[in-house]
Amino acid sequence: MRLVFLGPPGAGKGTQAAKLSTKLGVPRVSTGDILRRNVAEGTDLGKKAQSYMDSGALVPDDLVISMTERRLKEPDARQGFILDGFPRTLVQAQALAGLTPIDAAVNLFLEPEDLIKRNTGRRVCPNCEAVYHVLMNSPRKEGHCDRCGTPLTIRPDDRPDVVRARIETYDRQTAPLIKYYRDRGLLVEVYASGLIDEIFHRVLEALKI
């Protein structure tokens, strides 16, 4: 299957895409991972992207599209893939349509207040980078990492005001994308509240797997 996963920050795209990747035996393709990989490997595309990332600017569509196209041509993606974080814009969606057919676009949705709770509940270990959540994956000892015992921290972008801004930006950018896939009969809506396995079951049902 060739799938696109959509959803605002904190909806659980990465978690659900990873579970589905394992079940289907196809790679989860994350644009964030692709960017980091190209930068680390010093590819021409990575060097160009790095200049934008260093200045705090968004990486242009053409660079993201080129990196994704190259990734989708790798052997493990020939039988299918799950795109996580791409496309983010209508331009990217149209470019993707020119690269490969898509079987479905899975849109994970939540109420705004639930999204804020999810995003602001994240805690991160500054030492080993383990990630926790006060509601869904809390550490055994409050405020401390299970692995190394280091006090957990809150990322600056997990503050409520920042989270609200990110969600509003996502909604503005993604509304045309949702319509694009709905108009083509490819959009599958999945309510993303509840336990991870419950949500995964909804994903499987929605995709008729």
- Positions marked active-site: 13, 88, 122, 155, 166
Residue 41 CB coordination number (10 Å):
10
Q: Which DSSP letter does residue 188 get?
A: E
Burial of residue 91 (number of CB atoms within 10 Å: 0-12, 13-18, 19+): middle
**Alpha-carbon separation of residue 120 from 7, 123, 125 (angstroms):** 17, 8, 15
Q: How far separated are the first and last CA of the chain, in Å rounded?
A: 10
**Alpha-carbon separation of residue 158 from 21, 109, 173 (angstroms):** 27, 19, 20
Residue pair 188/85 in contact (Cβ under 8 Å)? The answer is no
Residue pair 125/135 in contact (Cβ under 8 Å)? The answer is no
How far is the C-alpha of 57 from the C-alpha of 74, rounded, in Å? 28
How far is the C-alpha of 167 from the C-alpha of 8, rounded, in Å? 6
